[in-house]
Structure 1
């Protein structure tokens, strides 16, 4: 097997994922202004994240049973098809559906790319390789917002999804042609019951989070019934997993200290990532009156910071250990979140760039550690499930973040407009949508535009304060990591058999 060419395929798939995650951010307000109301903005992200979250553990376990290559190729094919369909979407409902198809494909691609690295590189090499992968993520994340912003401004939002297609096809070619793996034949049965109960339970739970407070009242019979379905099927899932011969999500992974704490931290940090990429463009375009290209430029320092943070974090992990390296990252994230709360209409632009740079550096340090822990804390037979679990919790964090932040933002906007001040000025929902579209916003009077910007500014500022609180909680969570580098495969098998021997 030619590791360099396999790595090329993995890097291309990483580029695919990074472009998808960053291009859509600056395009969000423009899409909403053309296809739907601002209240539907979160669904562009939620549909993708929900299906990705549900399918990630399933694909991860299937890759342990049937090999990484077939699962990668299936996932990548679905992702490319979903991207093509998104380009053709003519309504918000269609776009949401096609984003869901993209999410299913991403559930097979993203965790398997990380698992492949764990398979073909030793522990001593993974820090350097993960830094390389994060470098591609950083470069593509830098290109994504800038290029995507200009494409949206001058060609239309439909074309941002076209970036995924060539990189997806190239990644499929390299993995199909050069990845050689020996998958031992195993007689274990697929955990169908676990997959079904998990899919129903998690889908119901994520729909409760996405719909509650925005589209359906929290105390409504429909939402309470959906919550009951989520609880019932998730409890059944836990019971089934304890008895299954090959559980889809091996619960014994949580007995490993580093995995337990890194998963909790990854979930929290991911809410901050989606909050930044989803709602900073809303601040730029709605409050400051910029365009999609300006939003991409504002996110560029985060991409650069992520690039350098991941490279440095991967190199110092073996000397400083998991806890210290993660604490460096979370400290930078806390600082970035605090600086974000200092922004207002009069704040200098360098303050915004400083905040996103600090965020990016922190993400680079911490996410690299979490990924290597997932790969290096278990042996080959559980590496796919462990990596998928880490990826799933990141996606779950983003899904919860989009839903919770969207509910909070809509609540704050409604609270500030409840006194009728805006309606007395003749302001409609279309005017609020128009604030996000440069051409439409020109038709608003200065007084009305000023009122709308003030409402949006206050709502987003309260959201940035919440992100500070989440960042501080994440800082305390990583204190639970062991203060040493992730172990080798030999140590991993011992941890599964004797988790009580784990010490700080």
Structure 2
């Protein structure tokens, strides 16, 4: 938070020192200046909670063991607020996957089969584009009003989704995505206001559990409700739950005086609005939204070498570069403090989230494709094989939280647990058409356990590495990396998969025709190849003589995606090693 833009808040001595010893080449305090600013011999009067570095140590010698200092609210109010936050996380995750089983029904009902991709991606695009904004906005206006606003926005979007017009539905999904993105990120940010960092990991693990449950159950619940009450009821039933959650937050989220979650004090609403970085926020939404749209629509709506795709991607990158410049040199109150990426732990934890999310989503998408196209499993069999994956995700988050609560440490733990994903993705590259049922049920256990551990630990490491005043903005940084990582990972893997699938299927068919030239006279080879590329189910409908060739082509495509995931998870592991250990304080005030 820049002291220049807010005359109503006096800058701390540490902030003034950062401005005095400023590295113009990076737009951030130099490494030496950053260390000096937190050396008690150099600046003995700086408050200890201004920037809790503590490199090389994890237990704060001044930490109090008073349980009352661990929480910002009395137990009853705390549990009610957490219940509301977890419900918001569950709804936001559920709404991201609920349309997977409804797309064909909705598109047929609205006569909009050609626009089916927009129905599927609108929520995810707006969620990712707006999610990074809520950290700084909640610093200005306070957590409570932003959480309530996002819940209302989510409910309005759900109500609008009951429309009979496809483009109104797409717009409604965009509105719902704005609310859902805020419900997720603000819940994570608010947890840091409510509990100490030492206990923070446990609650984050529970939050990740609710997110996983929502994402995993979205498709199933959507299908069941749609079969009984119709697809519009799927959206309609979510609205009152979001409103009830907002009501509980309004009544019970009463943060103590001095909490950063209360927003800027001593100023009217217009003064607060003047603190909003509208230029930076607009550039961020345009850049992230454009990149996500290019990643989602490239290779589907637009060819990768088409003018619309290239123009969209190039424009988005220009917007991103402009955003970085504005945040570093123009905006007195940056939406995302880009300069904090100069901190080794902030940068490494962000990159770890980015790379691990890329790899994890590639596994989640392409392991079922391998099971279906190469092993011949049914959708039900695939669903059963993903049940252990859900358990591993929950276990990774909760165990990580419990470990950090008990020990106050995380560096060695993350180095070990993140390596599980490295080994797990290596095993994915070794999958064969003859793999056993046991391997099918367990192949995602290591990657998922490692990923859920990384997500939980890196968030705590990132928050602990910066002053409390920046905990909301840095949380937004992680969400920005995570949301773009998921879409970029799947999109890059999709391009690799499609390229290898097409190349291998042409080679396999060419070999078949050389061995038996009469096949070209008996079958329409071009039609068989086209159908094979468009639909995995065609493997079971194609003439038997071609089925093995098609299966082996799909195997090559999947393995290309798995090798990409293996490479990205190695980069993620190196990022985890690059982090530093910081103090996980046992009190809200980081003392």
**TM score, norm. by length of structure 2:** 0.71
Q: Within the alignment, does 1:327 sit opposite 2:445 as a pair?
A: no
Tell me the CA shift for residue 263 of structure 1.
0.5
The more displaced of 53-62 and 341-350 is 341-350
Pick aligned residue for 1:127 from 181, 201, 217 = 201
The more displaced of 7-16 and 218-227 is 218-227
Tell me the CA shift for residue 206 of structure 1.
3.3
- Does the 8 Å CA contact 1:33/1:434 hold for their aligned counterparts? no
Tell me the CA shift for residue 212 of structure 1.
4.5
The 1:189/1:45 distance shift into structure 2, 3 A limit, reads same
Pick aligned residue for 1:173 from 235, 238, 247 = 247
Tell me the CA shift for residue 324 of structure 1.
1.6
Pick aligned residue for 2:124 from 45, 49, 63 = 49
Tell me the CA shift for residue 415 of structure 1.
2.3
C-alpha distance in 1, partners of 2:370/2:474?
37
Pick aligned residue for 1:264 from 344, 348, 351 = 351
The more displaced of 122-131 and 285-294 is 285-294
Find the counterpart in structure 1 of residue 181 from structure 2: 107
The 1:484/1:32 distance shift into structure 2, 3 A limit, reads farther
The 1:431/1:234 distance shift into structure 2, 3 A limit, reads closer
The 1:461/1:232 distance shift into structure 2, 3 A limit, reads closer
- Does the 8 Å CA contact 1:214/1:407 hold for their aligned counterparts? no
Q: 1:26-45 alignment to 2 at 5 Å? A: none
Pick aligned residue for 2:282 from 177, 196, 201 = 196
Find the counterpart in structure 1 of residue 147 from structure 2: 72
Tell me the CA shift for residue 21 of structure 1.
5.0
Find the counterpart in structure 2 of residue 303 from structure 1: 390
Tell me the CA shift for residue 465 of structure 1.
1.8
C-alpha distance in 1, partners of 2:590/2:313?
37
Q: Could you say which structure has the larger radius of gyration?
A: 2
The 1:474/1:155 distance shift into structure 2, 3 A limit, reads farther
C-alpha distance in 2, partners of 1:141/1:201?
26
Q: Within the alignment, does 1:424 sit opposite 2:525 as a pair?
A: yes
Q: 1:401-440 alignment to 2 at 5 Å? A: 401-418=489-506, 424=525, 426-427=527-528, 435-436=536-537
Which deviations, in whole Å up to 9, do the C-alpha atoms of 1:69-121 show, x marking residues without a partner?
Answer: 22223323333444566676887x88766544443222211110001100111
Find the counterpart in structure 2 of residue 501 from structure 1: none
Q: Within the alignment, does 1:274 sit opposite 2:361 as a pair?
A: yes
- Does the 8 Å CA contact 1:52/1:105 hold for their aligned counterparts? yes
The more displaced of 251-260 and 306-315 is 251-260
- Does the 8 Å CA contact 1:50/1:203 hold for their aligned counterparts? yes
Pick aligned residue for 2:341 from 254, 272, 296 = 254
- Does the 8 Å CA contact 1:27/1:157 hold for their aligned counterparts? yes
Indicate the structure with greater helix content. Answer: 1
- Does the 8 Å CA contact 2:193/2:588 hold for their aligned counterparts? no
Tell me the CA shift for residue 31 of structure 1.
9.1
Tell me the CA shift for residue 59 of structure 1.
2.2
Which deviations, in whole Å up to 9, do the C-alpha atoms of 1:205-232 show, x marking residues without a partner?
Answer: 3344445555545554444433442343
C-alpha distance in 2, partners of 1:83/1:450?
45
Q: Within the alignment, does 1:460 sit opposite 2:558 as a pair?
A: yes
- Does the 8 Å CA contact 1:327/1:475 hold for their aligned counterparts? yes
- Does the 8 Å CA contact 1:146/1:297 hold for their aligned counterparts? no
C-alpha distance in 2, partners of 1:360/1:434?
28
Q: RMSD value over aligned CA atoms? A: 3.9
Instruction: Provide structure 2 residue ranges, at least 5 long, that are not aligned to the other structure.
Output: 1-72, 256-261, 511-522
The 1:259/1:295 distance shift into structure 2, 3 A limit, reads same
- Report the count of equivalent residues: 487
Q: 1:338-357 alignment to 2 at 5 Å? A: 338-357=426-445
Instruction: Provide structure 1 residue ranges, at least 5 long, that are not aligned to the other structure.
Output: 494-504
Find the counterpart in structure 2 of residue 62 from structure 1: 137
- Does the 8 Å CA contact 2:199/2:404 hold for their aligned counterparts? no
Find the counterpart in structure 2 of residue 233 from structure 1: 319
Which deviations, in whole Å up to 9, do the C-alpha atoms of 1:5-40 show, x marking residues without a partner?
Answer: 101101112222343456566778999999869x98
SS in 1 for 2:443: helix
Tell me the CA shift for residue 468 of structure 1.
1.2
SS in 2 for 1:303: helix
- Does the 8 Å CA contact 1:83/1:102 hold for their aligned counterparts? yes
SS in 2 for 1:246: coil
C-alpha distance in 2, partners of 1:443/1:387?
49
Pick aligned residue for 1:388 from 476, 499, 511 = 476
